Structure 1
Amino acid sequence: MDIKREKAKKWKNKKSLTAVGAVLLLSLLWILSEPPSAPKASYDELWVGTVSRGDLTSYVEGFGTLESKDQRLLTAEINATIEDILLKPGASVKAGDVILKMVNPDLNQEHKSQQAELKQEQAKLRQIKLNQKREVLSLEAELASLQAQHKMAVLKLQAESKLAEQGIVSQLDAERSKLDKEQLKIRLDIESRRLKQLKLVHIEAIKVHEEFIKQKQGELDSVARRLDNLTVRSAVDGVLQRLPVELGQSVIAGSQLALVGSVDQLNAMINIPQSQVSQVYNKQKARVRIGDQEVIGEVIRVEPEVNDGLVKVEIDLQGELPNTVRPEMNVEATIETGMVKNTAMIERPATAKANSMTEMFVINQDSQMAVKTKVQFGAESGSHIQIISGVEEMDQVILSDTSRWQKKQSIKLIR
C-alpha cells in the first residue's frame, strides 16, 4: 500500500509541472505577438499645422551685399612700399581724396636725373641759339662790307667810263673796274644766298634740338606721373570698400590697392542656394530688405559659377533707397519665382524640401493617433510649401522634428 501512494504522488507532480509550463509558454507567445505600444507625445510639445487651400506664390530667399554699379579698382603702377594709410574701409571719399601713399627710392632718383638732363639740354639749346646768332652777325657784317665795296665799284666804273671816253683814263683801267664790279656782284649774291641758307639751317637745328628736349620733357613727365601715382587718390565720390594692403607692405606692379564704389547707384548681389537657383530667371521681381526698409527690384543677372553651394544673383534696385545705404552693406532678398493657383499648402516643416516626398505624421482626431504617411511636396514659398498628394485640406500634420520617432509608425497624442 505504501508503494502505490508514492507513485500516485509523482504522477500528480508531473501533471502540475506540465500545466505550469503550458501557461508560461502561452504567456510568452502572447507577449511576442502583441504589437509594441506607440510612443506618447503631448500636443504642447508639438508644432502642428493644418492643410489649407489657396494661391501659393513661390519664391526663393537669399542674403548678400550691396555693390556699386560704378566701381573703381585702384592698382599699383610700379613696385613700391606702403608708406602711409590715410583712410580705412568704410570711409566716405570725394574724387581726389588721398587714400594712401607709397614710396620708391629708385623712382625718386630717376626723377632727379631726368630733371638734370632736361635742364642740361635746355642750356645746350640756349648756347646753340647764341652761336647761331654770332654766325649770322658775322656773315651779315661780311655781306654789308661786300655791298659797300660793290657800290664803290659801281661808282668807280661810272666815273672811269666817262673819263675813258674823254681819253683821260685808259680803256684798260675802265675794263678792270668793270671786272671788279662784276666779281663783287657775284660774291654779294653768293654771300646773300649763304646767309639765307644759314638761317634755314639754324632753324632746322633748333627744331631738332627742341624735339630732343620735348622727348626729354616727355620722359620726365612720365616719371613725374608715376611718382605722383605713388599717392593713391579716389577717382570718384563714394565709399572706400576694400583696402587689401598694410603699412610697410611691399607691392608689385598690378597689385590691388583699394576699391572705391559710388553710392549713387547700387545693385544687390544675393547668394542663392544652388538647389534653388534653377527657379531664378532674369526680369523676375524681387524684394530687397535693407535694414528695416524694403526696396523693389528686378533680377538682371545670374552668375554661372557655383561657390560653396551658392550662386550669385544680381538685382537691380528700382525703388528709392534709404539715405543710410552704402556699398558692402548686408541685405536680404526675396525673389518671386512663380504662382500656383488654388493648391493645397501647409507651413513648411523643418525637414521638408521642394519637389520631394517625405514621411509625415498625420493626426487622426477620432483616435488621437498620429500615423506616418508619405506626403509629396511641390513648390515652396517662404514659410509655406505646396502639397501634391498624401494629405487633404483641413488635415492636421505634425510639422516639428520627428526624427526621434523615425522607426515608429504611429504616435499616441495626449493633452
Structure 2
Amino acid sequence: MDIQLDPPARWRRWLPSVLGLIILAFLIALLLRPISPVLSAGSTPNSAVQFGDLQLFSEALGTLQSAEQRLLTAEVGATVVAILQQPGATLTPDSPVLQLDNPQLKLQVQSARHQVAKQQSALQAFAATQQHQLLSQQAEVVRMETEVAASALEFRLHQELAEKGIAARVELRRAEFRLQQQQQLLALEQQKIIQLRQQQQAELAQQQLTLQQHQEELQLLIQQQQQLTVTAGMHGMLQQLDVELGQSVAQGQALARIGSQQLLKAQIQLDHRDADKVTVGTEVLLQTVAGNIRGELSRIEAIVQEGTVNAEVRLPASLPAQLRPAQHVQAKVRLGERKNVAYIRQLPGLTPHQTHRVFLQPANTDQHRAFARELTFGALSNGFLIIEQGASGGEVLWAPDPARWPQPEINTGA
C-alpha cells in the first residue's frame, strides 16, 4: 500500500539560503567597518594642552661681531712692498700691518724741507732789514729831539735878553717860531716811528704765516711718509686684508680691517612679526659656547629682508675669553607676557603661525580616543607653541603624520 507524504513547507527550503546571505552580509559589513588605528604614546608625539600665563620670547639666530672696528686706508697713492701680518693675527696699536712705498713722496718731502729753510732765511733777512729801518727812524727822532732842545735853549736866551731890553723882540719871535717848527717836525717823526713799527709787525706776521704754511705742508708730507708703514691703530685682530704684494693702491683705498676681540656685540636676525614688539633696551638672552649671556637691543633696522629684521645686541664689556667674532649664537628676545592663553610643548611637524590637523583627546575622560581637529597656532616662545583657537586646557594633543592618519579618530592606547 502506498503511503503519501506531505511535501515540506516552502519556507524550509529557503531557510539555508537566507541564513547564508545574512552571514555573508555580516562578514562583509565587518570587513568594511573602519577600524580606529592605535597609537603608542611612546612612539607618537603628544603633549598636554596647558592654559595660563606665558612669558613670550622671540628666538633668533645671529653671530658675534667686533663692537669696535677700524678700516685702514692708504693716505697716499703707493705700492705694497711688504705684508707684515695675515688675517687672524692679534695686534696692538703699534703693530705694523703693511709697508708701502712712494718714491715721489720722498722728493716732495725734500722739496718741502728746502722751502721751509728758504723761508726761514728770508724771514731772518726781513727781520734784520726791519731792525735797520727802525734804528734809522729812531736816529732821526733823536736828531730832531736834539734840534728841539737847541731851539728851546735859544728861545729861552732871547726871552731873557728881551726882558732885560738887550735883544730885539723880532729875534725872540724868530726863536719861538723855530722852536714850534722843530717840535712839530719831532711829533711827525715820532708818529712815523709808530706807524713803522705797526707796518713792520704786519709784514713780519705775513712772513711768519708763510713760514708756518710751509712747515705745515712739510709736516703733512712727513706724516704721509710715516704712514707708508701702516699700523693697526687699536688692540684687536686683523679680520680682513684687501691688498696683495706688489699691488698699487690709490689714496683712500681700503687696505685692511681691524676688529676688537674682547669688546663684542651680537648681530641677530629678528622675525619681522616681532620687530614692532621690541624697543631699544629690550632684554636679550644669548646662548653661546661660553654659556648664557645677557644683553640688550641697541639698534633695530627698519628694512625687512627675507622675513627678518637685523638688530644689534649690546653685550657687557667683560666677556669670557672663549668668545670670538664670527661665532654663532642663539638669541631669546623678551617680548612680554600673554595672559590666559592655551599652549603646548612644541611637537615635531607643528610650526608657528600655521593651521595644522591634529588629534585631541578630551580632558578628564577614561576613553582612549582622540578626535581630529584643525588648530591655529600662534607664536613659538621658549619651546612652547601658543594655540590661538581650537583647544582648551587639559586636553592631550597628538600630532601624527596627517598623510598616514586620515581617519577622524584614533585609539590612543586602549
Q: Which residue of 1 is the match for residue 321 of structure 2? A: 323
Is 1:103 aligned to residue 105 of structure 2? Answer: no
Distance in 1 separating the partners of 2:123 and 2:407: 103
- TM-superposed CA distance for 1:210, in Å, is 2.7
Question: Which whole-Å deviations, capped at 9, do the CAs of 1:31-64 have from their partners, x for residues lacking one?
Answer: 9xx8697797874994421224254322121122
Q: Which residue of 2 is the match for residue 125 of structure 1? A: 123
Aligned counterpart for 2:300 among listed residues 299, 302, 309: 302
Distance in 2 separating the partners of 1:39 and 1:256: 70
- 3-state SS of the aligned residue for 2:303? coil
- Native 8 Å contact 1:52 1:344 kept in 2: yes
Give the direction of change, closer, same or farther, for the CA distance of 1:49–1:219 in structure 2 (3 Å limit): same
- 3-state SS of the aligned residue for 2:342? strand
- TM-superposed CA distance for 1:90, in Å, is 4.0
- TM-superposed CA distance for 1:196, in Å, is 9.3
Question: Which whole-Å deviations, capped at 9, do the CAs of 1:164-192 have from their partners, x for residues lacking one?
Answer: xxxxxxxxxxxxxxxxxx9xx99x98999
Q: Which residue of 1 is the match for residue 352 of structure 2? A: 354
Is 1:243 aligned to residue 240 of structure 2? Answer: yes
- Native 8 Å contact 1:43 1:413 kept in 2: yes
Distance in 2 separating the partners of 1:199 and 1:250: 54
Unaligned runs of 5+ in 2: 1-20, 152-178
- TM-superposed CA distance for 1:216, in Å, is 1.1
**1:148-187, aligned counterparts within 5 Å?**
none
Q: Which residue of 1 is the match for residue 206 of structure 2? A: 208
- Native 8 Å contact 1:38 1:408 kept in 2: no
Higher mean alpha-carbon deviation, 217-226 vs 120-129, is at: 120-129
- Native 8 Å contact 2:84 2:98 kept in 1: yes
Higher mean alpha-carbon deviation, 70-79 vs 294-303, is at: 70-79
Give the direction of change, closer, same or farther, for the CA distance of 1:82–1:393 in structure 2 (3 Å limit): farther
- TM-superposed CA distance for 1:381, in Å, is 1.6
Give the direction of change, closer, same or farther, for the CA distance of 1:134–1:302 in structure 2 (3 Å limit): closer
Q: 1:53 is matched by which residue type in structure 2?
A: Q
Give the direction of change, closer, same or farther, for the CA distance of 1:390–1:136 in structure 2 (3 Å limit): closer
Distance in 2 separating the partners of 1:116 and 1:37: 106
- TM-superposed CA distance for 1:79, in Å, is 3.7
Q: Which residue of 2 is the match for residue 62 of structure 1? A: 60
**TM-score, normalised by the number of residues in structure 2:** 0.65
Q: Which residue of 1 is the match for residue 222 of structure 2? A: 224
- 3-state SS of the aligned residue for 1:243? strand
- Native 8 Å contact 2:240 2:256 kept in 1: yes
Question: Which whole-Å deviations, capped at 9, do the CAs of 1:306-342 have from their partners, x for residues lacking one?
Answer: 2343212222335953233344443221112233355
Q: Which residue of 1 is the match for residue 46 of structure 2? A: 49
Q: 2:376 is matched by which residue type in structure 1?
A: Q
Give the direction of change, closer, same or farther, for the CA distance of 1:275–1:352 in structure 2 (3 Å limit): farther
- Native 8 Å contact 2:239 2:257 kept in 1: yes
C-alpha RMSD of matched pairs (Å): 5.3
- 3-state SS of the aligned residue for 1:294? strand
Give the direction of change, closer, same or farther, for the CA distance of 1:224–1:403 in structure 2 (3 Å limit): farther
Q: 2:337 is matched by which residue type in structure 1?
A: M
Is 1:288 aligned to residue 286 of structure 2? Answer: yes
Aligned counterpart for 2:268 among listed residues 254, 270, 291: 270
- TM-superposed CA distance for 1:204, in Å, is 5.6
Unaligned runs of 5+ in 1: 1-22, 155-181
- Native 8 Å contact 1:114 1:216 kept in 2: yes
